Amino acid sequence: MAKVKYYYDSETLAYRKVERKKGRTITFSLLFLSAAALFGFFSYVLAANYIDSPKEKALIRENENLKLNYNYLNKRVDLAEQVMQNIADRDENIYRVHFEANPVSEAQRKAGFGGVNRYKNLEGSNNSELIIASTKKIDRLTKEIEVQSRSLDEIETLAKEKIKLLEAIPAIQPVQNKDLKRVASGYGMRMHPIHKRRKMHYGMDFTAKTGTPIYATGNGKVIKASRASGFGKVVYIDHGFGYVTKYGHMSKFNTKKGRKVKRGDIIGYVGNTGLSSGPHLHYEVHKNGRPINPVNFYHGDLTPEEYEIMLEKASQENQSLD
C-alpha cells in the first residue's frame, strides 16, 4: 500500500494531503520501466560476454580436452617419426648395403602431397592450425611407412635370393679330407698322363680309393649323369646363379638327371672310368659358362690351416691324372 504524504499549508495553518498529478505518475512509471529495461539489457550483455553458461562451460572443457589430445597425438607422431627415421637409416646403411640394393632416395621417402589443398575442409575453426599440422604429420608418416614397407619387401626378396645363392655356391670339397690320399693336381697347365703333353687342366684331381663317396658341393639340379668322352661316368649339377659343377671318372652314380640335390648329398663314388691313370675325382667349377679355379670355393668346410695346405698342393705343377 502506497504511503500518503502531507504538507503544511501556511495560509490555512493546517496539514493538507499531497495530491499527485496523473501526468507525473505516468512519467514516473515510464522512467521506471525504461530504467528497468536498460538495467536488464546491460545485465544480459554482461552475462552473454563475461559469464559462461553451463553448456558453454561444457564446450570449453571439451575444446581444452581436444587441444590436449592433439598435443599428445603430435608427441606420439613425433616419436613415431623418430622410430621410422631409425628404421630408414638401418635400411639404407645396413640392409640395402648388405644385399647390394640401390638406395631409396630421400625425395622418395619424404615425398609430399602436391596439387589441390588437401586440408581445406579442416579450415575455419579456432584450432584449425593445430588440426591441420597434426593431420599433415600423420599423412607424411603414413607415406614414409608405405615407402619403407616396399623397401623391406624388396630386402626380404633379396634376402631369400641371397640365402638361395649361399646354398647354391659350391662351397665344400667334393671328397672329404679323411678320405683323401692327396690332391693330385690343381687348376692350370699340366702334363696330361695319356697324351703326354702340356695342356690346360680346368679342374682339380682328388685321389681316393675306388668307391669313396663324392658329395654335391652346393644345392642344385642334376643336368647330366651319364658316360662322356674322356671323363667316363660324369655328373653335371646346375646350381643356378650361373654356377655349374662337374664330377668325372666316377665308378658308380648315386643320382640321375633331373634330380634336385643339396650340398653334402652323395651323388656318386670315386672311380677310374674314362681317360684316367688312376682312381680319382676330376672336379670343375664353371661360372656363366667359363671354368674357374675350384680352389676358391672350399670355405665351407676347411679351416684356414687346411685351406693353406690345399692351396699349396693345388698350385704345384705335378702331372694330372686325366
Number of other residues whose CB lies within 10 A of the CB of residue 294: 24
Q: What is the mean pLDDT of the chain?
A: 78
Task: Give 227-281 pLDDT, tens digit per residue.
Answer: 988 889 999 999 998 999 999 999 999 999 999 999 999 999 999 998 887 898 9
Number of other residues whose CB lies within 10 A of the CB of residue 91: 21
Amino acid at site 225: A
Domain 177-315 fold is: Glucose Permease (Domain IIA) (2.70.70)
Q: What is the CA radius of gyration of the chain?
A: 49
Amino acid at site 41: F
pTM of the predicted model as reported, rounded to 2 decimal places: 0.57
Sign of the alpha-carbon dihedral angle for 137, 140, 142, 144: negative
User: CA-CA distance, 264 to 255, in Å (whole number)?
Assistant: 13
User: CA-CA distance, 208 to 197, in Å (whole number)?
Assistant: 24
Q: Which residues contact 294 (CB under 8 A, 6 or more apart)?
A: 170, 187, 203, 204, 283, 284, 285
Task: Let me know: does 150 contact 158? Beta carbons within 8 Å.
Answer: no
Report the phi/psi class of residue 250: left, alpha or beta, with left for phi > 0 and alpha for psi in -120 to 50.
beta
Q: Which three cell numbers stand for residue 236?
A: 653335371
Task: Give 64-96 pLDDT, tens digit per residue.
Answer: 777 777 777 778 878 888 888 888 888 887 777
